[in-house]
Amino acid sequence: MSVQREYASNMSVSMLSPFGARLCALGLPPETLEEIAACDPLLEEVPARSERRSAAPAGSFDVLLRGWAFRYRDLREGSRHIAGLVLPGDPCDIDAVEFGRSNVQLGTLTRCLVASFDGDAFRDLCDRSALVRQAVTRLSMAENAMLREWNLCLAHRSASQRMAHLFCELHVRLAAVDAADRDGYELPLTQVHLAELLGLTAVHVNRTLQAMRAEQLIELSDQQLTVRDWDALAALAEFRADYLEMERAAA
Amino acid sequence: MSVQREYASNMSVSMLSPFGARLCALGLPPETLEEIAACDPLLEEVPARSERRSAAPAGSFDVLLRGWAFRYRDLREGSRHIAGLVLPGDPCDIDAVEFGRSNVQLGTLTRCLVASFDGDAFRDLCDRSALVRQAVTRLSMAENAMLREWNLCLAHRSASQRMAHLFCELHVRLAAVDAADRDGYELPLTQVHLAELLGLTAVHVNRTLQAMRAEQLIELSDQQLTVRDWDALAALAEFRADYLEMERAAA
DNA sequence: TAACGCCCACAACTTAGGTTATTTGAGCGC
DNA sequence: GCGCTCAAATAACCTAAGTTGTGGGCGTTA
């Protein structure tokens, strides 16, 4: 391997740092990131508020490095389902790697930086490297766990509980990539986004937020969430962080 | 490899046939099953209506071979969330393989046969065999897709749509293991089970079933579901089978 | 400066689904 | 035979959340 390649590779590793943090949180060894970085991803800036972009164009493996994005699907009669938020370090659509096609769209909330690995090259790498394949497996399973938990929320919990759960989950996930403060974080979502995510109407999201404000649980204005009482919020949501599989992350 | 071992291995392969069908449906080559079978699972009969059994005791990799089971979690105040049905060929708790622990319980509806692979032996096998690791990845992703779809239903669809969706999905999944007829299948669930699965109350499940009967969509009695109008049912549910990733299955 | 858009707030009314309770019938032990 | 439990049906009532509509603040463009 030439010096240039090593140099280039190290550049990639540092570019990919939020993704590295994610892999590390999942208990994967650091060489995993190096092997993946050797695939030389295409770095792509996506403007804020963009929509209608396939989450993994041409079966590529896309990872968000900076910004907030979300996976969504349009429903009949103009409504929309937001299937999940994508934070720095998260794959945009992990399933596309194996099945070679994506069935979700990706939208951005803020300006984003995406690392896009060529699909075929990445699949080749998976076949050659047990570590990389394991990383994909764990990423998939981590998502699995989040989906399962969210399922439970949607099926059995009230609007305020879902909202509280979302806020708790986001705090843990953002903290893993150093994007949360002790008392809150930036939340670049409108109430309409929240509604599409929580399976509620925008009106009811508004009502629920008012109620949570009135109970001194949270403050939310200018895209900034401030949590006044974490314990009460977590209790309301019946939130336990363990399903996120991030216990291996630095404190 | 001795003749006995080969013989034993072939026995295992045939025992595991519903699991083989599942792997095949996911587009995995037949050798995958042979490699897994070489792990020599413990076969275990579980009586009907049993509960409180960890889905993957001691981090093992458990696969259902015969019968109906479900994953569940208890909630406070006596209620329960059924996180999904486990049909022949399905892993009981795929996440346990990587994370070495299970956070769901397994309940049985009918008498079941479970193949239990020793956790450490199976993980060793994953490290040695790219094929096996890929199988795990695809199984995980297939579950992912089902969870995502179900999320959408819970968030945005009515009781009757969810019910219709469940019936459609089960038909496809059962057909993949030859357990469905053209016009219906055996459905060993009580209305309470349906409620816990759909995120509704038992009364409302009853109401919804009555309505669906009245509209000539389905018939359901004595654990036997008969679908009178598949097209109408699928249209109500807005069901499209592609997310199940079973298009590779035999017709 | 007006006009348009988006986001948030909030009021009035409707509805899907939750809650509680009673009834019936099938199975099962004794 | 009697009494038990469990599944299903169904009625009456209640509430969380959906629906429709209005108004206000604020940034952008003309």
Inter-axis angle of helices A191-198 and A159-175, nearest 10: 100
Length of chain B, in residues: 251
Mean pLDDT of B62-66: 96
Do residues A69 and A191 share a domain?
no
pLDDT of residue B5: 42
Local confidence band at B52 (pLDDT 50, 70, 90 cut-offs): confident
Quick one: tokens of A27?
């208990």
pLDDT of residue B43: 94
Nucleotide nearest to B156 (CA to C1'): D18
Interface test mutation site (partner A, options B61, B124, B147, B238, max chain A beta carbons within 10 A): B147
Do residues B133 and B170 share a domain?
no
pLDDT of residue A250: 41
Interface test mutation site (partner A, options B71, B151, B244, max chain A beta carbons within 10 A): B151
- Provide the percentage of residues in chain A whose pLDDT is more than 90: 81
pLDDT of residue A169: 98
Do residues B102 and B56 share a domain?
yes
Question: Which of A146, A177, A207 marks a domain boundary?
Answer: A146
Local confidence band at A78 (pLDDT 50, 70, 90 cut-offs): confident
Amino acid, single-letter form, for residue A177: V
The Cα–Cα gap between B6 and A85 comes to 49
pLDDT of residue A5: 42
Do residues A13 and A64 share a domain?
yes
pLDDT of residue A8: 53
Quick one: tokens of A159?
């609007």
| CB-based contact, B201 to chain A, within 8 Å | no
The yes-or-no verdict on residue A204 having pLDDT over 60 is: yes
Do residues B139 and B232 share a domain?
no
Do residues B81 and B141 share a domain?
yes
pTM, two decimal places: 0.93
Local confidence band at A3 (pLDDT 50, 70, 90 cut-offs): very low
Residue A250 resides in a domain? no
| CB-based contact, A183 to chain B, within 8 Å | no
Local confidence band at A103 (pLDDT 50, 70, 90 cut-offs): confident
Produce one character per residue of A164-193: b if its CB has 16 or more CB atoms within 10 Å, e if not.
bbbbbbbbebbbbbebbeeebbebebebeb
Mean pLDDT of B121-132: 94
Out of A189-198, A240-249, B77-86, B111-120, pick the least confident. Answer: A240-249
| CB-based contact, B237 to chain A, within 8 Å | no
The Cα–Cα gap between A83 and A66 comes to 19
Phi-psi region of B57 (alpha: psi -120 to 50; beta: other; left: phi over 0): beta
Residue B250 resides in a domain? no
Mean pLDDT of A16-22: 94
Confirm if B237 and B168 have CB atoms less than 8 A apart. Answer: yes
For residue A74, count other CB atoms closer than 10 A to its CB: 12
- CATH number, domain of A22, equals 2.60.120.10
Do residues B69 and B173 share a domain?
no
pLDDT of residue A142: 95
Mean pLDDT of B135-161: 97
Residue A251 resides in a domain? no
Residue B151 resides in a domain? no
The yes-or-no verdict on residue A197 having pLDDT over 90 is: yes
Residue B152 resides in a domain? no
The yes-or-no verdict on residue A14 having pLDDT over 70 is: yes
Highest mean pLDDT among A75-79, A126-130, A192-196, B73-77: A192-196
B135 CB contacts (<8 Å, ≥6 apart)?
B23, B26, B28, B32, B36
**Average pLDDT value over all residues in chain B:** 91
The yes-or-no verdict on residue B249 having pLDDT over 60 is: no
The Cα–Cα gap between A118 and A104 comes to 18
Residue B249 resides in a domain? no
Out of A3-7, A115-119, A208-212, B10-14, pick the least confident. Answer: A3-7
A156 and B199: CB-CB below 8 Å?
yes
Local confidence band at A217 (pLDDT 50, 70, 90 cut-offs): very high
Do residues A121 and A38 share a domain?
yes
The Cα–Cα gap between A153 and A162 comes to 6
Residue A152 resides in a domain? no
Do residues A103 and A165 share a domain?
no
Question: Which element (helix H / strand E) includes B226?
Answer: strand B224-227
Do residues A77 and A161 share a domain?
no
Cβ of A209 near strand C (distance < 7 A): yes
> What digits encode the pLDDT tens for the residues A46-61?
999 998 788 888 889 9
How many separate domains does chain A show? 2
Q: Which one is predicted more confidently, B77 or B151?
A: B151
> What digits encode the pLDDT tens for the residues A162-175?
999 999 999 999 99
Do residues B161 and B188 share a domain?
yes
**Average pLDDT value over all residues in chain A:** 91
> Of all protein residues, which has its CA closest to the C1' atom of C6?
A190
Out of A57-61, A131-135, B211-215, pick the least confident. Answer: A57-61
Cβ of B136 near strand D (distance < 7 A): no
Q: Which one is predicted more confidently, B99 or A214?
A: A214
Of A81, A127, A140, Cβ closest to residue B140: A140
- CATH number, domain of B226, equals 1.10.10.10
Confirm if B62 and B93 have CB atoms less than 8 A apart. Answer: yes
Cα–Cα nearest to A109, from A20, A192, A202, A17 = A192
Out of B100-114, B187-201, B221-235, pick the least confident. Answer: B100-114
Residue A71 resides in a domain? yes
pLDDT of residue A247: 64
- Provide the percentage of residues in chain A whose pLDDT is more than 70: 94
Question: Which of B146, B175, B204 marks a domain boundary?
Answer: B146
Which nucleotides of chain C have an atom under 7 angstroms from any protein CB? 6-12, 16-21
The yes-or-no verdict on residue A246 having pLDDT over 70 is: yes
Residues of B in contact with A151 (CB under 8 A): 83, 147, 150-151, 154
The yes-or-no verdict on residue B2 having pLDDT over 50 is: no
Nearest 5°: CA angle at B12, between B109 and B95? 55
The yes-or-no verdict on residue A215 having pLDDT over 70 is: yes
Confirm if A54 and A40 have CB atoms less than 8 A apart. Answer: no
Residues of A in contact with B199 (CB under 8 A): 154-156
A127 and B130: CB-CB below 8 Å?
yes
Do residues A122 and A22 share a domain?
yes
The Cα–Cα gap between A43 and A169 comes to 28
The yes-or-no verdict on residue B250 having pLDDT over 50 is: no
Cβ of B80 near strand D (distance < 7 A): no
Mean pLDDT of A205-223: 97
Confirm if A33 and A10 have CB atoms less than 8 A apart. Answer: no
Cβ of B206 near strand D (distance < 7 A): yes
pLDDT of residue B141: 96
pLDDT of residue A112: 95
List the beta bridge partners of residue B181: B184
Range of the domain at A215: 157-244
